[in-house]
Amino acid sequence: MDAIPDLKNIPIERWDNVAFRDKDLQVDVLRLDRIHPDVSGNKWFKLKYYLRRATLERKQRLVSFGGAYSNHLVALAEACRLYGFSSRGFIRGEKPRQLSHTLQVAIQKGMDLQFLSRQDYLERKKSMPAAADIAVEGDDLIIPEGGAGEEGIQGASEILNLVPRVDSYSHICCAVGTGTTVAGLVSAASQHHQIMGVSVLKGTKELDPLPESWFNHMPRLSSVQMIHEDHFGGYAKSEKMLFDFMNRVFSESGIPTDFVYTGKLFYSVARMAAENGFPAGSRILLIHSGGLQGNQSLPPGLLNF
């Protein structure tokens, strides 16, 4: 199965400012958001092996889970459209009067949406694919929320293959939702790399939200640092300070971020740099996980890009 995107020339761009120079830090950004408008960022990597499995097993429909701002569902809907599968998304929460831009795009890509109460969502997620009342058939491939699982981790482990001289970096940083991407990065990184994950979820701690069952993918857990204080209120929550920061990053670097994941990642790195959280001379690589379409759900004029 050929990849949707051309992965040969994904840019790595410098995010430079006075604060980084004063701390003797070099901060680069792997622009995975440039891969594809919809199957963007880390989403292609997390879906790659599910799509391959669906092809080999001759599945007709791919089914997954997500919330109103799920980049994963948009990416899945588009990937299914491109590869000739149908798609279904189970959505956390009752159907609102006005759908988010994200869900509207998923529908435009052909995804069938089914809205569930939060309790039903959790129960059905746990029971898939055994629950008969969800109408899961033999022609369906069930993909966990966010692409979490063996196939998602395997795909995410290939992200660093795009980075020339990856061993020159001391730190590799990414935003964390399900933890799939950070698990893949840890499994692929070198011994000297420090992996930093910025949780965008409220209430996480220690190595949360990384499932204990994934620890076999992480032979070097001591090299993983999880940051939990930069979630801005939780998943898809935000504050004016975050939008102001995102605008500043764009003015400094020309790199757009999203308010659900990458804006919080960039903020956390800047905060830690200001607090001497990185040793002088560190070379830091940020993984831009895409998801920029989610910004279109924001009021006009809030962002300068």
Banded model confidence at residue 7, pLDDT cuts 50, 70, 90: confident
- Asked if residue 137 belongs to a domain, the reply is yes
Residues 161 and 230 in one domain: yes
CA distances from 55 to 42, 48, 49, 209, 261 (A): 21, 11, 10, 30, 30
- Listed residues 102, 125, 147: the one ending a domain: 147
If pLDDT is split at 50, 70 and 90, which confidence band does 131 have?
A: very low
Q: Is residue 303 part of a domain?
A: no
Q: Is residue 26 part of a domain?
A: yes
Is the confidence at residue 245, as pLDDT, over 50?
yes
Taking residues 264-280, report their average pLDDT. 97
Per-residue pLDDT band at 76 (split at 50, 70, 90) = very high
Both 175 and 160 in one domain: the answer is yes
Query: Do 139 and 157 sit in the same domain of this protein?
Result: no
Say if residue 120 is in the same domain as residue 177.
Answer: no
> Looking at the whole model, is its pTM more than 0.95?
no
Q: Check residue 132 and give its pLDDT.
A: 43
Contact 109, 85 (CB under 8 A): no
> How many domains in the chain?
2
293 and 182 within one domain: yes
**Does the pLDDT of residue 133 top 80, yes or no?**
no
Which of 147, 163, 191 corresponds to the end of one domain? Answer: 147
Give the model's pLDDT for residue 100: 94
Domain range for residue 158? 12-37+151-297
* In a shared domain, residues 26 and 174: yes
Note whether 68 and 135 are same-domain residues: yes
CB atoms within 10 A of CB 191: 8
Q: Are residues 16 and 127 in the same domain?
A: no
Of 74, 29, 93, the residue nearest 292 (C-alpha): 74
> Does 190 or 213 have the greater pLDDT score?
190
CATH code for position 17: 3.40.50.1100
Comparing CA positions, the residue from 122, 135, 126 lying closest to residue 86 is 135
Confidence band of 126 (pLDDT split at 50, 70, 90): confident
Q: Is residue 7 part of a domain?
A: no
Do 18 and 155 lie in one domain? The reply is yes
- Domain boundary (95, 116, 147) is at 147
pLDDT at position 199 over 60? yes
Do 142 and 156 share a domain, yes or no?
Answer: no
